Amino acid sequence: MENKIFRNFISNKGLKLTKERLAVLNEIFSFRGHFEPEQLYLRIKDSEIKASRASVYRTLNLLVESGLVGKVARTEKGNVYEQTFGQEHHDHMICDRCGAIIEFCSQKIENLQDELCKKNNFDGTSHNLVIRGLCKKCKRTKR
Amino acid sequence: MENKIFRNFISNKGLKLTKERLAVLNEIFSFRGHFEPEQLYLRIKDSEIKASRASVYRTLNLLVESGLVGKVARTEKGNVYEQTFGQEHHDHMICDRCGAIIEFCSQKIENLQDELCKKNNFDGTSHNLVIRGLCKKCKRTKR
DNA sequence: ACTGCAATTGAGACTAAATATCAATTAAAC
DNA sequence: GTTTAATTGATATTTAGTCTCAATTGCAGT
C-alpha cells in the first residue's frame, strides 16, 4: 500500500523508481516506531539491497514530502522520524536526559486547536506538539 | 531584575560571576525577540565587554538552566532562543505558503498538557506546539 | 530490445553548529 | 595578599547532514 503511494508520488514528480529508494521505503515500513537516519542507514547497509548514506538521507526527504514519513522532532543529536501512513495521529513527550519518547493523544487538545484555528481564521492542516522534560526513570535519578 | 536572579543562580551553584557571563546576560536582555547563538556572539564581539564564542555557548546553557532564557526550537540551522523572564508563554501557527507567524496562547491547552504529564509520570519543563496550514490571506487565494 | 539521456548513485569532500581541550587567567574565600 | 578552583579563549574536534561529480541506471521513444 505505501509502496503504491510512493510509486505514484515518484511518477507524479517525474522521478525514477530506483532499487535504493525502494530499499529505504521497505526498511522503514518493515518495523514500527521512531528512527534516526543513521540507524536506518546501518540497517540498510546490512540488508539485501543496500543504499549509501547519501541516498538514505535523500530518500528520507522524499518520503517526508510524500507524507508517508513524518519528522517527529529535531533533537540535540539530529532528526527523529516515524512512518505516518496508516498510523493514528499522536503527539510526543521527549526526555531531555535519555531521549526516551512517549506517545500520547488527546482529542481534547485536538478540539481546542481546531477552535483556535477558527478563531484566527487559520486553515490548519497539521500540527506538531512536543513536550520536553524528564521521563519517569530520569526524574528519579535527578542529576 | 534578571541580573539579580542570575547572580543568585550563579552563587547557589558555587560558580563565579564573570564579566563575560554578565556581558552575555546583558546583551540578551537588551532586546526582545528570538535569537540564535551565532548572532548573539557577533553582537557581543562588537560590544564593550566581549566574550568568546565558547563562553557565549556556555553561558547560554547556564541561562537556560536558570530559567531566564528558553529554547524556542531547534531548527535545521541550530537552536533558537528567547528570553523567558517576564514574557508570557505562547505558541505558533505558521503559514505554509507565506511563512506568516501567528502567536496564540490557550490556558486550556496548557492545563491539558499538565494533566497528560501527570498521567504519564513525566516531569515536563517546556513544550512546543506549532500548527501549520494556510493563513487568512492565503486561504482566500487558494493555489 | 536498443538507444539516448536526464536522473540517480556512492565515495568522499565539505559545511556548520556545538562541544572538548588545556594552558593561562581570574573571581572570591580565607 | 595568597591560595585555589573555576573560567576563559584559541583552536581542535565532533557530528549531522549536504554537496560534488564521474560512473551508472531507469525509462521514454523508437
Domain residue ranges in chain B: 2-83, 91-140
Answer with the residue of higher pLDDT: B6 or B98: B6
A8 touches strand D (CB under 7 A): no
| Summary mean pLDDT of chain A | 92
Count CB atoms within 10 A of the CB of residue B81: 21
Give the architecture-level CATH label for domain A1-87: Orthogonal Bundle (1.10)
pLDDT in tens, A31-70: 989 999 999 999 999 999 999 999 999 999 999 999 999 9
Element (H, E) at A88: none
pLDDT in tens, B109-138: 999 999 999 999 999 988 889 888 888 988
Q: How many CA atoms lie within 13 A of B139 on its CB side?
A: 16
- Contact A126/B112, CB-based, under 8 Å? no
Query: What fold is seen in the domain B2-83?
Result: Arc Repressor Mutant, subunit A (1.10.10)
Q: Which of B58, B4, B69 is nearest to B34 (CA)?
A: B69
In this predicted structure, the answer to whether residue A13 has a pLDDT above a threshold of 60 is yes
Q: Nearest residue to D25, CA vs C1'?
A: A18
Q: How far is C-alpha A133 from the chain's CA centre?
A: 20
Give the architecture-level CATH label for domain B91-140: 2-Layer Sandwich (3.30)
Interval B85-114 mean pLDDT: 84
In this predicted structure, the answer to whether residue B14 has a pLDDT above a threshold of 60 is yes
Residues of A in contact with B123 (CB under 8 A): 133-135, 139
B98 touching chain A per CB within 8 A: no
pLDDT in tens, A94-118: 887 787 889 999 999 999 999 999 9
Element (H, E) at A73: strand A69-75
- Which of A15-29, B23-37, B65-79 shows the lowest mean pLDDT across its residues? B65-79
pLDDT at B143: 45
Mutate to test the interface with B, among A80, A98, A106, A122 (most CBs of B within 10 A): A122
Residues of B in contact with A93 (CB under 8 A): 116-117, 120, 122, 124
Q: Which of A126, A130, A111, A71 is nearest to B116 (CA)?
A: A130
Give yes or no for a contact between A79 and A36, defined as CB atoms under 8 angstroms apart. Answer: yes
Contacts (Cβ under 8 Å, ≥6 apart) of A52: A20
Alpha-carbon distance A95 to A102, whole Å?
8
In this predicted structure, the answer to whether residue A8 has a pLDDT above a threshold of 80 is yes
- Phi, psi dihedral angles at A139 (to 5 degrees): -75, -15
DSSP three-state, residue B63: helix
Exposure string for A78-97, b = 16+ CB within 10 A, e = fewer: ebbbbbbbeeeeebbbbbbe
Query: What fold is seen in the domain A88-143?
Result: Dna Ligase; domain 1 (3.30.1490)
